[in-house]
Amino acid sequence: MSPAKVILVDDEEDIRLSVEQALEIRGFEVTSFARAERALDLASRTFDGVIISDIRMPKMDGLQFLSAVREIDPDLPVILITGHGDVPLAVEALRGGAYDFIEKPFPPDRLGEAVRRAIDLRRLTLENRVFRERQDTADPLDSAIVGRAAAMVELRQRIRTVAAAPMDVLVLGETGTGKELVARALHDLSPREDKPFVTVNLAALPPGTVESELFGHAAGAFPGALRGRVGRFEHARGGTLFLDEIGAAPLALQVKLLRAVEDRAIEPLGSNERVELDLRFIASTKEDLEELVAEGRFRDDLLYRLNAVTLQVPPLRDRPEDAPRLFQHFVSAAASRDRREAPEIPPESFLALSAAEWRGNVRELKNAAERFVLGLGIEETGAEGQPATLAEQVDRFEKSAIAAALAASGGNLKATHETLGLSRKTLYEKMQKHQLKREDFLAKAE
C-alpha cells in the first residue's frame, strides 16, 4: 500500500521542515509549499490525501486557501495550523468547512492522529463516489446484494453458482440481513426467472388458515368454503416458493411440508386430487435449526431435505466497511422513489456509519437512510434501540478503523500496524478482541 499523501503549506521554513519531518517519520508522503497558490495545483477531486495549512500567510492566507480548496472539492479535508491569537479564526474556519485546527505549539502525535482520521475519511468519501458512479452500470447481482466485504463477495459467487442448479436452498441469517433478497436473486438468476416467485412467511400466517393458504382447498372442504381456492404452492408452479421463517412452522405443518418437498405434489384440503408441482423450494430462518431439532421442535428429515445447499448471510456488524456503501445505495433508492434529489451525505458521517453496530442489520440501515432522505438526520442506536453509549461508539470505531486499514493493505499486518500507529502485539490483541481475521482481508484483496 502506498503511503498516505499530505499537502503541507506554511511560509515559515523552520516550521514547514519540522512538520514535514514529523509526518514522514509517521509514514506519510509529504509535499510541502511555502505559498498556498502553488499547492492548489495538486488539489483535485481525485486527490486521496489531506491538506495542512497555516492560517497566517502572505498573499493567499489559510482562510482564502480553504475557500479555494472547497471550490475544487468541498469534501477534501483541510487541517489548519493556528497560533493562539488565531483560534477564533480557526473556529470560524470549522464552520466554513475546515476538517480540524491545531494550535501552536502542538505535539507531533496530535497532528499525526488528526491526519490519520482525515485520511480514513477521505478514502471513504472517494470510495462512495466511485460506488455512486458505478451504480448505473453495475452487475445486477452486485446492485441487489451490495457489499465488498469478503463474506459478501463469496456469497455472491455462491449465489451465481447455485442459482442455475435445481437444488433446494436454505438461507440462514439474522433478522434484517436480507435473506429474501438472496432468495429473489437465486430465482432471478435461475432458468425459472420468468415464472412466479411466491413468498410465504410462516411466522405470519394465522394457525387456523395456514394449510388452506399453502395447499388450497376444494369447495365445501370446511364450513364457509363456498368456492375452491388455489394455494401458494400452486401459484408458484414452474417457479420458486420461498418459505420464510421455516423455523416457525408447527410440527404438524412440517409433516405436510416434508411430503410436498419430497413428492413435489400436494392435495388441496377436501380433495383427493393430486396436484403435481414443478417448483424450487428456498427456505430461510434466523433460528438455529439443528438446535431446534435437538429440542424436538423441528424435524430432522425436513431440515436435510431443505438444506441441500446452505447460504449464510452475514450480519452488518461483521462487515462494517460495507455500511457507508449500503447507506448511499438506500439513500439513492429512497430519493428516486420519493422523486426527491438525493441529499449529500456529510463525509464525517461515513465513519459513524461504519462504527455503528446496526442491531437490526441492513433493514435498520435502510430505515435510517429513508429518514435521512426526509431530512431527519442520521441516528445511531445501541442495544435494544437505545442511543449508543460512548464506550459502544469507541469500540465500534476501533473495529471499523482496524478493518478499513486491513482492507486497504490487503491484509498486510506490517502496513496495518504502521498505518494505525500500533505495535504489532497491540494490533494482534485488538484483532482478536474484535474477531478480525487476516485471511478474510487476503481473500478480499484477491
pLDDT at residue 191 in the model: 93
The Cα–Cα gap between 358 and 356 comes to 6
Q: Which residue has the higher pLDDT, 198 or 351?
A: 198
Question: 184 pLDDT band (50/70/90 cuts)?
Answer: very high
Most confident of 92-96, 328-332, 342-346: 328-332
Q: Quote the crossing angle between the two packed helices 347-355 and 323-337, to the nearest 10°.
A: 120
Specify the pairing of strand 280-285 against strand 5-9. unpaired
Specify the pairing of strand 197-201 against strand 169-172. unpaired
Q: What's the maximum distance between 2 C-alpha atoms anywhere in the chain? A: 96
Average pLDDT of the residues in 36-44: 88
* Three-class secondary structure assignment of the chain: CCCCEEEEECCCHHHHHHHHHHHHHCCCEEEEECCHHHHCCCCCCCCCCEEEEECCCCCCCHHHHHHHHHHHCCCCCEEEEECHHHHHHHHHHHHCCCCEEEECCCCHHHHHHHHHHHHHHHHHHHHHHHHHHHHHHCCHHHHHCCCCCHHHHHHHHHHHHHHCCCCCEEEECCCCCCHHHHHHHHHHCCCCCCCCEEEEECCCCCCCCHHHHHHCECCCCCCCCCCCECCHHHHCCCCEEEEECHHHCCHHHHHHHHHHHHHCEECCECCCCCEECCCEEEEEECCCHHHHHHCCCCCHHHHHHHCCEEEECCCHHHCHHHHHHHHHHHHHHHHHHCCCCCCCCCHHHHHHHHHCCCCCHHHHHHHHHHHHHCCCCCCCECHHHCECCHHHHHHHHHHHHHHHHHHHHCCCHHHHHHHHCCCHHHHHHHHHHCCCCHHHHHHHHC
Q: Is the pLDDT of residue 437 over 90?
A: no
Average pLDDT of the residues in 249-270: 90
Q: Which residue has the higher pLDDT, 420 or 348?
A: 420
Q: Is the pLDDT of residue 221 over 70?
A: no
Average pLDDT of the residues in 79-89: 79
Average pLDDT of the residues in 86-103: 81
Share of the chain above pLDDT 90, in %: 32
**Chain-wide mean pLDDT for the chain?**
84
Question: 359 pLDDT band (50/70/90 cuts)?
Answer: confident
pLDDT at residue 445 in the model: 40
Q: Which residue has the higher pLDDT, 119 or 212?
A: 119
Q: Is the pLDDT of residue 444 over 50?
A: no
- The model's pTM: 0.59
Residue with cell string 482478536: 432
368, amino acid identity: A
> Is residue 430 exposed (0-12), middle (13-18) or buried (19+ Cβ within 10 Å)?
middle
Cell of 389: 453509549
Specify the pairing of strand 275-276 against strand 265-266. antiparallel
Counted residue by residue, the chain has a size of 446
Q: Is the pLDDT of residue 443 over 60?
A: no
Cell of 343: 441529499
Nearest Cα residue to 128 out of 326, 340, 333, 330: 326
pLDDT at residue 92 in the model: 79
Phi, psi values for residue 52, rounded to 5°: -120, 130
Q: Which residue has the higher pLDDT, 387 or 253?
A: 253
